[in-house]
Amino acid sequence: MSRIKNHLVADAKLDSEKIIELKNRNEQFLINNGRRKTYHILTYGCQMNEHDSEKISGMLTSIGYVETDDEKNADLVIFNTCLIRENAELRVFGKLGEVKGLKKNKPDMIVAVCGCMMQKQEIRDKVLEKFSFVDIIFGTNTIHELPVLIYNVEIKKEKSVDIVDNTDLIYEDMPKLRKFKYKALVNITYGCDNFCTYCVVPYVRGREKSREPEDIIQEIKILAEDGCKEVTLLGQNVNSYGKNLNVEFTFAQLLYEINKIEGIERIRFMTSHPKDLTDDLIKAIQECDKVCKHLHLPVQSGSNDVLRRMNRKYTKEHYLTLVEKLKKAVPDIAITTDIIVGFPGETEEDFLETLDVVKKVEYDSAFTFLYSIREGTVAAKMDDQVPDEVKHDRFNRLLEVLYPIILEKNQKCIGKVFPVLVETAEGDELTGRTEHFKLVHFKGSKDLVGEIVNVKITDVKTFHMKGSIVIA
Ligand code: 5AD
Ligand code: SF4
């Protein structure tokens, strides 16, 4: 297509002189040591980070590294970090402490830290100061620079820090080493413009930018040719896909296009922001036979006052209307959500509104979070923070309402047959997901991994179901 591209598509420069020198060194390492250099990535956080780790793996493979499953055996350890809540941050610092001991015994081991935490100056400074053994720091916008950073450490013996705060560039040519052959994560947007007041993502991942539709479609066609059956389209708010493209192209249109791709059998996407869930999109979910009957639609809170102060730009009533429309369009759709309890100023009445939404929607599953103060966000400065014991009490009460609803929804599946994409096998214990995103365990041959098989549900728990394969 000869359209003017909205963004600059940049080149990851994997054939530069430095990289060729590094590749040659790695080949020489193989000859001298009888093995390739190894890397291990510790990935924290969301699917966006998981997919970034697949890009990091792709880059490292292309310069001659192989993956190892433990940091103890690795020549290069990479922390791909998350900043969304405090506990994610604390886990990274804890693990960095452990790796410090490892590095003492293996001084040649390279340690790199990347991801969302590194996009914040204060945290970067803390890592540089407290964990001075770290050799490389890069951010969410500089993954493509990793080989050059390794070159700087290995050949120039320099510590390497490379951070870009915000950029219009999208690197289309980065190699990816995907974890699974039959299912794949595919970026459709990067960054976020929504500035929910509790959330650090817009500050660390920058402004929202959409990939060109033809780049996305081309990537998925290649995946399909390679045996991929399920794609998950990734964006902080996939519903606003296309907003900043030079031509009119909506997320709904993108779904129709992907639905046409031969070989792809399931299309998933996350995350959907309720404020941008249009009737056209609901129609696309209804009409595209490959789009899974599952929507992850974060509500965050059921209180209009809290939603307003979260800057979510919808009301409880609007959210419930969307759910009604969805259930009418796709009667057996599974709806899952994210809920935060203890947002600053949340009263008991506000919390009861959240419980009311949970009861009305009857979620199939939910991620529930205690509000966590994130420096630099608007909510962090709100002065009516909820005490920890109140947050925990509400959190427990939320689960007491939520879990029986989830279990009851699962119980309705007993006796029914669902197509399940087999994801993993341990001996003859297979695990997969229904199109409603429900996890199912059943017995079968490991050769079925990557296949879609019919499974009759025989027993259910809150977070998984059990069943047996039925032959048609
Ligand atoms: N505290 C608690 N939960 C948060 N989330 C985002 N920021 C915070 C925070 N500061 C949750 C939201 C979002 C999910 C990815 O993480 O529910 O949808
Ligand atoms: Fe964070 Fe809101 Fe953007 Fe989601 S939509 S990444 S919660 S700011």
For the stretch 151-163, pLDDT in tens is: 999 988 888 888 8
Q: 407 with 435, same domain?
A: no
For the stretch 362-417, pLDDT in tens is: 999 999 999 999 999 999 999 999 999 999 999 999 999 999 999 999 999 999 99
CA neighbor of 179 nearest in space, from 381, 472, 394, 450 = 450
For residue 114, the tally of other CB atoms under 10 A from its CB is 27
Residue range 193-213: mean pLDDT, rounded: 95
Of 376, 411, 446, the residue that ends a domain is 411
- The predicted pLDDT at position 2 comes to 34
The fraction of the chain above a pLDDT of 90, given in percent, is 89
Per the structure, how many domains does the chain have? 3
Q: What does pLDDT average to over the chain? A: 94
222 inside domain: yes
For the stretch 220-265, pLDDT in tens is: 999 999 999 999 999 999 999 999 898 999 999 999 999 999 999 9
Q: 382 with 437, same domain?
A: no
343 CA from centroid of ligand 2 (Å): 15
As given in the structure block, the two tokens for residue 189 are 């947007």
What region, left, alpha or beta, does residue 321 occupy, with left being phi > 0 and alpha being psi -120 to 50 degrees?
alpha
Residue 82 has pLDDT above 90, yes or no: yes
Find the domain containing 257 and state its range. Answer: 183-411
CATH label of the domain that carries residue 349: 3.80.30.20
- The predicted pLDDT at position 6 comes to 47
Q: 221 with 265, same domain?
A: yes
Cα–Cα distance measured from residue 49 to residue 324, given in angstroms and rounded to the nearest whole number: 32
Residue 455 has pLDDT above 80, yes or no: yes
Q: Give the long-range contacts of residues 121-128, CB within 8 A, separation 24 or more.
A: 122/375, 123/83, 123/89, 124/161, 124/163, 127/96, 128/161
Q: Which ligand is nearest to the CA of 300?
A: 1
- The predicted pLDDT at position 13 comes to 63
Q: 157 with 224, same domain?
A: no
- The predicted pLDDT at position 14 comes to 65
Q: Which of 311, 369, 392 to mutate to test the pocket of ligand 1 (most atoms within 8 A of CB)?
A: 369
As given in the structure block, the two tokens for residue 406 are 């989830």
316 CA from centroid of ligand 2 (Å): 18
Cα–Cα distance measured from residue 47 to residue 40, given in angstroms and rounded to the nearest whole number: 18
Q: 312 with 219, same domain?
A: yes
Residue range 324-342: mean pLDDT, rounded: 98
Residue range 18-35: mean pLDDT, rounded: 94
Q: Which of 340, 373, 391 to mutate to test the pocket of ligand 1 (most atoms within 8 A of CB)?
A: 340
Residue 324 has pLDDT above 50, yes or no: yes
- The predicted pLDDT at position 16 comes to 83
As given in the structure block, the two tokens for residue 132 are 């001075």
**pLDDT classification of 11: cutoffs 50, 70, 90:** low
176 inside domain: no
CATH label of the domain that carries residue 428: 2.40.50.140
**Angstrom distances, CA of residue 190 to CA of 169, 211, 325, 462:** 10, 8, 28, 33
Q: 99 with 209, same domain?
A: no
178 inside domain: no
Identity of the residue numbered 321: T
Q: 11 with 143, same domain?
A: yes
- The predicted pLDDT at position 3 comes to 39
Residue 86 has pLDDT above 90, yes or no: yes
The fraction of the chain above a pLDDT of 70, given in percent, is 97
Sign of CA dihedral 251, 254, 256, 261: negative
340 CA from centroid of ligand 1 (Å): 7
For the stretch 427-436, pLDDT in tens is: 999 999 999 9
CA neighbor of 282 nearest in space, from 293, 270, 298 = 293
**Which residues contact ligand 2 via a Cβ below 6 A?**
192, 194-196, 199, 201-202, 236-237, 273
441 inside domain: yes
Residue 60 has pLDDT above 80, yes or no: yes
Residue found by looking up tokens 């080493």 in the block: 177
As given in the structure block, the two tokens for residue 202 are 């817009």
Given a contact cutoff of 8 angstroms between Cβ atoms, the answer to whether 148 and 122 are in contact is no
- The predicted pLDDT at position 1 comes to 35
Cα–Cα distance measured from residue 37 to residue 234, given in angstroms and rounded to the nearest whole number: 31
**pLDDT classification of 4: cutoffs 50, 70, 90:** very low
